[in-house]
Amino acid sequence: MTTLIIAPPPTPNGDLHVGHLAGPYLAGDVYARMLRGEGQGVLYATGTDDSQTYVVTSAAKLNLTPEALCAQAARDIQDTLKLTGVQVDGFAPFDERYRATVLAFLTPLFEQGKFEWRTVTFPYDPVRQEFLVEGLVGGTCPVCLSGSRGGLCEACGHPNNFMELLDPVSTLHPRHPVEGREARILVFPLERYRAQLEAYYARQEGRWRPHILQLVRELLAAPLPDFPVTYPVTWGIPSPYPGTEGQVLNAWVEGMPASMYCSATAGEAGGLSPEQAAALWEDPQARLVYFLGFDNSYFWGVVHLALLMAHGGRFVLPDVIVPNEFYELEHEKFSTSRGHLIWARDLTRDVPRDLARYYLALTCPEHHRTNFSRSALEKLTRERLLVPWAGLQRHFVPDGTGPLPVTPAGQDAARRMAERLRACYALETFSLTRLADTLTQHLQRLYREADEARAQGHAPSGDLWHQLRVLLHLASPLLIDATASLLLDQQQPWTALLDESSVTPFALPPLVPEPALA
């Protein structure tokens, strides 16, 4: 069985900041590394979402063409994933195959009449004679009254379509008047999938994080809106369907085929043939997992899901969606336009990346907004990671005397510890924060026990060495550099360690690379 992990392709209107990293990308990486460590099949993939109108608005502000911005941002994002240790198996390019994959997914739905024609009214700028959708229009969310862009409100997660945004304003030309104007477009009538969506979500109740389930309940309490498949704007993939001349595909309708293309890119990188890789989502044994920002839940959890359902069982449906909330910087929202952000690559330049990953895990916004603070990073990584680690380095020193025996009591303690840590990795209880916390608890415990042994004149026993070794394997998806030299070879799952009846003391690598001697 292969687990297909998708982190949503970021909009290529800039590099990744720390908020992105603390959201889906680190979580997906840690989960993927855990599965790899257990010897399970996994393909973790992402790409870029070039069709978003946000590319157009960002490029205008930067005085770049949207194409140039996309190309630069795609390179930056891939570099940043590498620098932060987010090890994706595939990063899909936005190329001709991408477009072909999108059309291969949508065209059968068009031909089978799964899309319908609607004449709807959009916000329209009469000066520039342009329709305003998605990132091109701002206003007030009709559900929660926050400021919102078109299509979706980041604050409450509810969609808004057509003229639903209150007080619509052009993002690029805010002084221009905005009026309503009709256009005939293709829509995907979500309400047709109500019964299937309700049955699907009845199965997820209690298994997934509560906020996304709350959103779905709220959405299902009213007729589901029609989802616009095409838009009368110019940025995006041109719609090939007769009657939609001059329109493009809504970027959000690309989500599923784009994700399939991401998985396929990963599959091909891993040695699958293009045909095998393209069919990964058609394997009923595959397990599909998304990590994503809560603000995208409506698309991934309703629209995309219904689009998969519209294919009548051809594709696997997501097993678990793990959403995250917003991460704040010094108690204010990350903002690219105000420069209130820390780029993920800058963080890993300033702070050893194991420490950065530990702090982001400890504070990431799993259930509500949380905060990144430079002073807290220094305090918490010192107290909860560096100090216990240095203590362990003092006590656990290999003295060259061969393997030490591990007693059943030592194996038992390691198993109990492993069980608690594995609960942090299990998707239904997935928590990077608890993982970081539990890790610290056991680093401190093993230090304390070794300290007590030293006080009585003993070196750490085989039982303590065994527990330390198991702990480091369980920490390895998060602390990637400090544990790299200790890991079992790739063929052997770490769980094989649990039954070992002896352990050879090893040198505990430093958490912070030691400065080169002058």
**Which one of residues 144, 166, 409, 484 is an interface residue with Zn ion (CB under 5 A)?**
144
Enter the tokens of residue 422.
């594995």
Residues paired with residue 44 on neighbouring β-strands, in sequence order: 5
Q: Which stretch binds Zn ion (CB under 5 A): 22-30, 141-149, 371-379, 485-493?
A: 141-149
Pick from 132, 130, 131, 46: which is nearest to 86 by CA? 46
Q: Nearest 5°: phi and psi at 338?
A: -90, 0
Q: In this structure, which amino acid lies at residue 74?
A: A
Distance, CA of 223 to CA of 219 (rounded, Å) = 8
Binding mask 162-181 for Zn ion (x = CB under 5 A): --------------------
153 or 308: CB nearest Zn ion: 153
Stretch that binds Zn ion, among 81-89, 145-153, 171-179, 366-374 (CB under 5 A): 145-153
Closest to 137 measured CA to CA, from 186, 173, 181: 173
161 is an interface residue for Zn ion by CB under 5 A: no
Interface with Zn ion, residue 21, by CB under 5 A: no
In the complex, minimum distance from the CB of residue 281 to Zn ion, in angstroms, rounded to a whole number: 31
Q: Shortest Cβ distance from residue 274 to Zn ion (Å)? A: 42
DSSP 434: H
Residue 231 Cβ vs Zn ion, minimum distance, rounded to whole Å: 21
Out of 143, 220, 269, 488, point to the residue binding Zn ion (CB under 5 A): 143
Q: Does 155 bind Zn ion (CB under 5 A)?
A: yes
Assess 153 for contact with Zn ion (CB under 5 A): yes
Give the burial class of 517: count Cβ atoms within 10 A of its Cβ; 0-12 exposed, 13-18 middle, 19 or more buried: exposed
With the C-alpha atoms ordered 412, 413, 416, 422, is the resulting torsion angle positive or negative?
negative
Give 312's DSSP letter. T
Asked if residue 141 binds Zn ion (CB under 5 A), the reply is yes
The strand pairing partners of 42, in sequence order, are 3
Task: Write down the least CB distance from residue 298 to Zn ion, Å.
Answer: 11
Residues 120, 182: Cα–Cα separation, whole Å: 5
Helix axes 53-62, 66-83, angle to 10 degrees: 100
Shortest distance in whole angstroms from residue 154 CB to Zn ion:
8
Q: How far apart are CA 89 and CA 272, in angstroms?
A: 12
Residues 70 to 109: which contact Zn ion by CB under 5 A? none
Question: Which of 147, 391 has the CB closer to Zn ion?
Answer: 147
* Minimum gap (Å) between residue 140 Cβ and Zn ion: 9
Please state the closest distance from residue 144 (CB atom) to Zn ion, in A.
Answer: 3
To the nearest whole angstrom, how small is the minimum distance from the Cβ of residue 160 to Zn ion?
Answer: 8
Our CB check for Zn ion shows the closer of 83 and 156 to be 156
Closest distance of CB 145 from Zn ion, Å: 7
Which member of 104, 156, 423, 498 binds Zn ion (CB under 5 A)?
156
CA-derived radius of gyration, the chain: 25
Any contact of residue 215 with Zn ion (CB under 5 A)? Answer: no
Number of amino acids touching Zn ion (CB under 5 A): 7
Report yes or no: 241 and 231 within 8 Å, Cβ to Cβ: no
Given a contact cutoff of 8 angstroms between Cβ atoms, the answer to whether 357 and 27 are in contact is no
Let me know how many helices (H) and strands (E) the chain has, helices first.
18, 21
Does 409 interact with Zn ion (rule: CB under 5 A)?
Answer: no
Residues that bind Zn ion (CB under 5 A): 141, 143-144, 146, 153, 155-156
